[in-house]
Structure 1
Amino acid sequence: MYQLFCGLGFCLVCLPIPCCAIGSASSDSSRVLLVSLDGFRADYLEKTDLPNFRLLISDGVRAKYTINAFITKTLSNHYTIVTGMYQESHGIVGNNMYDPVWDEHFKLGHPSYLDQKWWNSGEPIWITNQNNFGKSAVINWPGSFINIRNEYPTYYLPTYDESIPLRKRIDWIVKHFQDDDVNLGILYHHEPDPTGHKFGPNSPELIECLKSLDNDVGYLVDQLKRTGLYDTTSIIITSDHGMADVSIERIIELDKFIDSSLYNVDNNNPIFGIWPKDDEDKIYNILKSASDHMRVYKKDEIPPDFHYQANRRIAPILLVAKEGWMIYQNFTAVFPTSEDRKNFNVGEHGFDNRLEVMHPMFIAHGPVFNQYQPDADPFHTVDIYPLICYILGIPESPNNGSISRVSHILKPNTGLWWMTNKLFSAISTELLLLTLNIPILFLLWKMNKMNMFQIRNLFNKLVLK
């Protein structure tokens, strides 16, 4: 039976089709470039004149902000962006965490960080793309050099290398777009995060960093234009979190209230996970009354908006510092001298993701995005994964995002639904034969012989010339 349908599909697809001016989308427009600039707060775009960011926005989309995942740390939020999952779902619940079943600790920068078993609950977009016959080029994105679900990106760096300048990373991606038929490029850059940490989010040094990044965005646009890729690439520039002012004068020291030998801790300052060794209620009650500048939750009390409860790696007690405050067990042990205290970071993130200062920016430009939309309503970072799947024309793996929450930034004439609606609104005698192809293509897809990316490309070749 399968051979019969394949033969019929081949005959119908290969019949001559009259050319019809029903659209101009090309299969090349299913190319996506995702860029993350670590720690780029949404309101940084107003701090100084950034002409190259402004150019993208003027002909594209800027969201007021995105709602990132709690906790607002780098590793966990970058994994949220590429999986579309909250941290309780993908399992990377912090830069540092403990798994009570394995009785093992995970620490950013430690060899444990490279063990795939910590990462396998989520499926990054590069795996989804490759499972649907796409090719991915990923540079320095957290997790991209880990063998997640026994698969790496098609092209990637074997280790994280912060020394590579942003322009070299751009060149690397563009070259793979040009030479290797890559349809998904993903680029991570560490700035302005370290500058915000060291000097603060309102410092002159941060302004200079933003101007430098703006120049690099101009370089990205120039390279895409030079190679003829600019008009056919959907560009998304976003971030993982914002940045808040903190001070050495706003410190909560747990040792002033409770003996540190009574518990273990996951330190994701300004968030602490407390693992009591005994008498959880006693420890909870002591911490609950310790300071007005932090919130203390038992695991079942954690606010539902955090989506940070249903995972065994989340500690039984969670401490959440209020904006601008930091938590230490013993501050003097970490910064014993006045000279050491000069290295105290005056900018920090990790706080409640509902705070304005924690919100990341989002800019998009390209064939699927609206134009002249500089003030789009916010959405969640978990929605970026289904958005990319939509653009690539591939089915989503399980995730917590929703394409409907980002529909307001998309042109109405994009995607498979646009092609279907456009087709049926333009049916004429000349197109009747073409409509017979649709159920055949759908049947081939359902039989797992073609994916959405292939179907859309075939449709483009048949009709959208």
Structure 2
Amino acid sequence: MHPVSCSLLLQLLFCQSHANKVLLISLDGFRWDYIEVARNAGRNVSAFEAIAVSGFRAEVKNVFPTITFPTHFAIATGRYVENHGLYNNKFWEPRLERYFSYSRPADSMDPDFLNYNQNEPIWITNQRHGKRSCIFYWPGSQSIYANKYPFATFGLYSDVPTLEFRVDRVMDWLSLDDFNFCMFYFNEPDSTAHRYGPDSEEVLDAIERVNKGIAYLLKRIKASPKLSGKVNLIVTGDHGMAQIPPENRINLHEAVTVDEYFGNVSPVLVGLWPNATQSVQEMYNAIVSKKLNNCSVWLKEDLPERFHVKRSYRAPPIFILADNGFLINREIDQYNTPKGKSV
């Protein structure tokens, strides 16, 4: 299973007041068809349906690559990956000569990684206009931008707080007059889909749990005199997911050995820098000569324009993209840095 480019769900609830507040919720891995899939399986999706009836549903065209950190930071900044600089959940930064990893809190707080190209997330833009923003675990929100943080955050990321807990904290913030904008992230159904598969019964259970949390949010908004009829609610996702048969694996190391490269590696998209023993063209020619099936191999400059990834020094010189329904098997989870140390 792996993320795929697809249209995702965006739902809005419009209100009448001119002093409305905005609440943006991202449900990680919430595939574009999950509401219909769950409904057809007899699962409760009434909260999602209530929002669609009160507002509308729209199609989202994802940025590339459709991976959690790049997509969420694109939502926050309004920029493609080549402009905001977060190339993957884990990626090599050639000028810093360091790897970024989403799982290391210090990296998510480091402006050297996040402040690429003078990024300004929307929560900072909101505050620059005299308003206050509150953020709950949104990727990229733990770093400082232009010497500013969000006015309210919930600290370092953890997947322990339930959706209902997050709703309560957000409602506490939005109930204050000064706060007009909030973004929060929830890790489901992505976490369950990675463990059990995107088409599993467990994912349907996760969708129902998310629906319960959204229903709780709608109930709390309606019960609040300060917020009822005054909140614009957006519910969206960052990427979809596809089931991968075990035999649909592309063995990268049939074409290149682990000691020959370093770079950005994920199950469906690999970005490579050759080590000092060969040139970019030599590595590219060697990979192409192996005629790997079910994937595309590009030099950076030959990438399709629609990807919007090649115009950055952070872009690796060689990209390998698995076809939908396949993943790239690297044989090992670790890979080298230019100095030969595995990370």
Q: What is the TM-score when the length of structure 2 is the normalising length?
A: 0.86
Summarize the Cα distance change of 1:269–1:150 in structure 2 as closer, same or farther, 3 Å threshold. Answer: farther
Change (3 A) 1:188 1:259: closer
1:100 aligns with 2:90: no
Counterpart residue number, 2:298: 297
From 153, 165, 182, give the equivalent of 1:156: 153
1:258 positional shift? 2.6
Q: Tell me which residue corresponds to 1:196.
A: 193
Cα pair distance change 1:99/1:113, threshold 3 Å: same
Alignment of 1:17-416 (within 5 A): 25-29=16-20, 31-49=21-39, 50-63=45-58, 65-110=59-104, 111-120=106-115, 121=117, 122-228=119-225, 229-277=227-275, 278-288=278-288, 289-330=290-331, 333=332
- For the residue of structure 2 that corresponds to 1:255, the secondary structure is helix
Q: Deviations over 1:274-317 (max 9, x none)?
A: 10122222211222243121100100111111111111111000
Q: Which amino acid is 2:210 matched to? A: L
Distance 1:101 1:334, change over 3 A: closer
CA distance in structure 1 between the partners assigned to 2:31 and 2:294 by the alignment: 23
SS of corresponding position for 2:38 = coil
Aligned-partner SS, 2:234? strand
Could you tell me which runs of 5 or more consecutive residues in structure 1 were left unpaired when the two chains were aligned: 1-23, 336-465
Q: Secondary structure at the residue paired with 1:244?
A: coil
Question: Aligned equivalents of 2:294 and 2:50: distance in 1?
Answer: 42
Q: Separation in 2 of the partners of 1:59 and 1:89?
A: 35
Q: Residues of 1 paired with 2:155 and 2:176: CA distance?
A: 20
Between Structure 1 and Structure 2, the one with more strand by share is 2
1:230 Cα shift? 3.4
Aligned structure 1 segments of 4 or more residues deviating by more than 4 angstroms:
none
One-letter amino acid matched to 2:150: P
When the two structures are superposed, what TM-score results if normalisation uses the length of structure 1? 0.64
Q: CA RMSD in A?
A: 1.7
SS at match of 1:275: strand
SS class of match (2:183): strand
Spell out, residue by residue over 1:95-118, the C-alpha distance to the aligned partner (whole angstroms, 9 max, x if none). 111122222221121233321111
Distance 1:157 1:113 in 2: 14
Q: Deviations over 1:344-366 (max 9, x none)?
A: xxxxxxxxxxxxxxxxxxxxxxx
Taking the aligned partners of 1:180 and 1:231, their CA distance within structure 2 comes to 15
Amino acid in structure 2 at the alignment position of 1:32: V
Query: Where does structure 2 lack aligned partners over 5 or more consecutive residues?
Result: 1-14, 40-44, 335-343
Deviations 1:78-108 (A, max 9, x none): 1000110001001111111112222222112
For 1:225 and 1:275, locate their aligned partners in 2 and report how far apart those are by CA, in whole Å: 53
Deviation at 1:179, TM superposition (A): 2.6
Code of the aligned partner of 1:284: Y
Return the structure number with greater helix share: 1
RCO greater where, 1 or 2, for CA within 8 Å and sep 6 or more? 1
The answer to whether the 8 Å contact 1:145/1:157 transfers is no
Q: Helix, strand or coil: the match of 1:69? A: coil
Q: 1:61 to 1:279 in 2, by over 3 A?
A: same
1:234 is paired with a residue whose SS is strand
Amino acid at match of 1:98: W
- Cα shift readout 1:315-338 (whole Å, capped 9, x = no counterpart): 0000001112111332xx459xxx
Q: Deviations over 1:411-444 (max 9, x none)?
A: xxxxxxxxxxxxxxxxxxxxxxxxxxxxxxxxxx
Larger Rg: 1
- SS for the counterpart of 1:48 is helix
2: distance between equivalents of 1:329 and 1:244? 19
Alpha-carbon spacing, 1:168–1:284, altered in 2? closer, same or farther (3 Å):
same
Alpha carbons 1:221, 1:230 under 8 Å: kept? no
Separation (CA, whole Å) in 2 of partners of 1:125 and 1:175: 21
Equivalent pair of 1:116/1:149 in contact (CA under 8 Å): no
AA aligned opposite 1:316 = P
Cα distance between partner residues in 1 of 2:100 and 2:207: 32
How many angstroms apart in 1 are the aligned matches of 2:300 and 2:322?
A: 16
The answer to whether the Cα contact below 8 Å between 2:17 and 2:229 also exists between their aligned partners in 1 is no
1:251–1:325 contact (8 Å) kept in structure 2: yes
My pick for the range that moved more, 200-209 or 84-93, is: 200-209
Between the aligned partners of 1:25 and 1:253, the Cα distance in structure 2 is 55
User: What SS does structure 2 have at the residue aligned with 1:208?
Assistant: helix
Deviation at 1:148, TM superposition (A): 2.6
For residues 120-144 of structure 1, the C-alpha deviation after alignment (integer angstroms, 9 at most, x for no partner) is 1321111000000001111111121
